[in-house]
Amino acid sequence: MGRPRAFDVDEALDRALRLFWRQGYEGTSLSDLTEELGINRPSLYAAFGNKEELFRKALERYVEHHLILYREAFAKPTAREAMEHLVLGLADAQTLPRGPRGCITVQGALVSGEAAAPIQKELAARRLAGEKAIRERLEQGQRDGDVPPHVDCADLARYINTVTQGMAVQAATGTSREDLRRVARMSLAAWPT
């Protein structure tokens, strides 16, 4: 009941996500947001709380979407194939034709002033969560016998995660999708034997 919303919440979140992704949390002002979303300020606050909550909700959508890629990759029969699918998928996701480049967990607030510290920490935690997921898939591979027993899965996971985060920086620099995919493939040459 009451007057119905004149905008679609999910579409607004997607637009906010893309803006935060492209300009970072600190680099995106509320004026940028209201202009991009076509929503005026009080409506935005009524729907999403404040700037920080809006970011968190947009981030949630991003993460949910990316979980699909991780699950898809981890379903591959071997850890090696899983990682290949993952890094190549991330290369694509970080160079979407009409999307911002890189990954919002990296570009969102790699560093920041004091005001944005909670967001910075949240993103760092998300990056660590990705690394943990990779490590667990590698450990599964070890149990399955397709990853040599002498391999330290934490180290290997950290390495793979580092490469994907470096790819996010490269994407921001303007590296093409093809070049990024080459980087992803080369990184797998370090795979233990």
Partner DNA sequence: TGGATTGTGTACCGATGAGTACGGATTTAC
Partner DNA sequence: GTAAATCCGTACTCATCGGTACACAATCCA
Cβ neighbors of 182 (< 8 A, separation 6 or more) are none
Amino acid at 20: F
- Write down the least CB distance from residue 124 to DNA, Å: 21
Sketch the per residue contact string, 29 through 58, with its own copies: x for CB under 8 A, - otherwise: x--x--------------------------
Q: Near DNA by CB under 7 A, which window of 34-42, 88-96, 99-107, 123-131? A: 34-42
Give me the 86-125 binding string for its own copies, x by CB under 8 A, dash otherwise.
Answer: ----------------x---xx--xxxx--x-------x-
Any residues with CB less than 8 A from the CB of 62 and at least 6 apart, and which? 17, 21, 104
1 binds DNA per the rule CB under 7 A = yes
Q: Which amino acid is at 150?
A: H
Nearer to DNA, 113 or 149 (CB): 113
36's contact among DNA, its own copies, none, with CB below 5 to 8 A by partner kind, is none
d(CA 139, CA 158): 13
Shorter beta-carbon distance to DNA: residue 30 or 129: 30
What are the C-alpha distances in Å from 25 to residues 104, 119, 187? 10, 8, 30
Q: How far apart are the C-alpha atoms of 92 and 176, rounded to whole Å?
A: 10
* SS3 state of residue 60: helix
CB 69 within 8 A of CB 89: yes
- Please report, as ranges, the residues that interact with its own copies according to CB under 8 A: 21-24, 26-29, 32, 102, 106-107, 110-113, 116, 124, 127-128, 155-156, 158-159, 161-170, 172-175, 179, 182-183, 186-192
Q: Which residues lie near DNA (CB under 7 A)?
A: 1-7, 28-32, 39-43, 45-47, 50-52
